[in-house]
Structure 1
Amino acid sequence: MELLSVNVGRARPVEYTDAPSGTSGIDKRPVEGPVRVEAPGPKGVAGGGVAGDAVCDLRFHGGDDRAAYAFAREDLDLWEKELGRPLPNGSFGENLTTRGLDVNGALIGERWRIGRDLVLEVTGGRIPCRTFGGFLGETGWVRRFTEAAAGPGALLRVIEPGEIRAGDPVSVVHRPGHDITVALLHRAATTERALLPRTLVAAEWMESGLLEAARTYAAKYGAA
């Protein structure tokens, strides 16, 4: 398992964002390392945890629970075939492009060590937005990505900061004792909401927005 690339984006004016600034950093490109990754701070105040990466809409992105975003090269390859276009590392706005790591099968709360020092913890999966759709330029993209079997990629918090670079090894150093994966939580939050109460066994590690959705649903409808 390895890190293929570290990807960062600059803030650029775009027409396809609802960010108050009118800018987006979704267009991420691989950079030479080492790149520092650390906990950025509270959601709504802090940006992302990857040095040099612009987070332009703090209402929905950035903060400690969403310090970084990982996507598997294997899933980019599947999308390349389906879309009929090249998708270089960073094409889905991911900070970390991995190979050999089961990103969507990772458990919420699972921890990865990348390189010598960095330890990240899985908090959830990406919920696609208008900016993502506009950036890809594919008709019906938000729905298509949401419903895809390939999976959403993983949101991550920083447990131990560190510097990383392309080629660093990735290892799974902890797996919690439940069965809630990134893919399952994504389905629960989008297409199969009756699963949301079940995901609360992972509440300790879950990204705050997804946790709020699960708790609200469970309070209203009860257990699945």
Structure 2
Amino acid sequence: MNGVVVAVSRNEVYSFTKPNRESITLLAGLGVEGDVHAGVTVKHRSRVAQDPDQPNLRQVHLVHEELFAEVADAGFRVGAGELGENITTRGLDLLGLPTGTLLRIGEQAVVEVTGLRNPCAQIDGFQHGLLKQVVGRDGSGRTVRKAGVMSVVTVGGVVRPGDAIRVELPQGVHRPLERV
């Protein structure tokens, strides 16, 4: 179960989308160097409003490129970085990973998956109707979130498009991802 980095993105200012870069540097315990969401405590505005001292479990946002093809079938055009992700992947079932999975990216960087991104209304501000494509309900009425996963940096390093992503599942009982 391995994948590849398709694109890397960061933004120094609050904005829904993030410009693609040639590389990003992950900093252990902080996130993406130079990204507005980097830090030990939460940086997402809605989370800061609730409790600015809560730990930042959303340091690095990863989205699977396969989602772009899925939403394209519904008439939406989305590219790397446009959903606010830092790392766009290919070949990994990100949404199916258990909490605590380690993703070894490139030569050195390691992130630990903390949970699912909770899509918000900003997605409809980007493209009206897109929110319904990335969050919905399954046949049992459970909420299904498709807008990627969140993670924290455990080992820093430079990440570039083309870097391999190696999956290391946690030991013991696997806990399904929940929103963070």
Give the number of the structure whose residues are more often helix, by fraction: 1
2:70 corresponding residue in structure 1: 78
Match of 1:65 among 52, 57, 62: 57
**Partners of 2:145 and 2:118 in 1: CA distance:** 14
**Partners of 2:79 and 2:131 in 1: CA distance:** 20
Identical positions, percent: 27
**Partners of 1:111 and 1:65 in 2: CA distance:** 14
CA contact (8 A) 1:107 1:176 kept: no
CA contact (8 A) 2:109 2:159 kept: yes
CA contact (8 A) 1:115 1:170 kept: yes
- Structure 2, gaps ≥5 residues long: 38-42, 49-53, 138-143
Find out whether 1:138 has 2:102 as its counterpart.
Answer: no
Match of 2:108 among 117, 128, 138: 117
1:38 corresponding residue in structure 2: 27
1:159 corresponding residue in structure 2: 154
Using the size of structure 1 for normalisation, the TM-score is 0.64
Using the size of structure 2 for normalisation, the TM-score is 0.78
Give the number of the structure whose residues are more often strand, by fraction: 2
For residue 86 of structure 1, report the CA deviation from its aligned partner: 2.3
Aligned residue identity for 2:115: G
Aligned residue identity for 2:58: R
1:8 corresponding residue in structure 2: 10
**Partners of 2:147 and 2:155 in 1: CA distance:** 24
For residue 132 of structure 1, report the CA deviation from its aligned partner: 2.8
For residue 112 of structure 1, report the CA deviation from its aligned partner: 0.6
Query: What is the DSSP-based 3-state SS (H/G/I as helix, E as strand, rest coil) of the residue aligned with 2:72?
Result: helix
For residue 30 of structure 1, report the CA deviation from its aligned partner: 1.3
For residue 143 of structure 1, report the CA deviation from its aligned partner: 4.9
For residue 150 of structure 1, report the CA deviation from its aligned partner: 6.9
**Partners of 1:67 and 1:176 in 2: CA distance:** 23
For the aligned residue pairs, the C-alpha RMSD in angstroms reads 2.4
For residue 165 of structure 1, report the CA deviation from its aligned partner: 0.6
Cα deviation per residue 1:55-95 (whole Å; 9 max; x = unaligned)?
A: 3744527954111000100112101211x132111121111
- Structure 1, gaps ≥5 residues long: 12-23, 42-48, 187-209, 211-224
The one of the two structures with greater contact order (alpha-carbon pairs below 8 A, sep at least 6) is 2
Find out whether 1:52 has 2:34 as its counterpart.
Answer: yes
Sort the Cα spacing of 1:39 and 1:64 in 2 relative to 1 into closer, same or farther, 3 A.
farther
What is the aligned residue count? 162
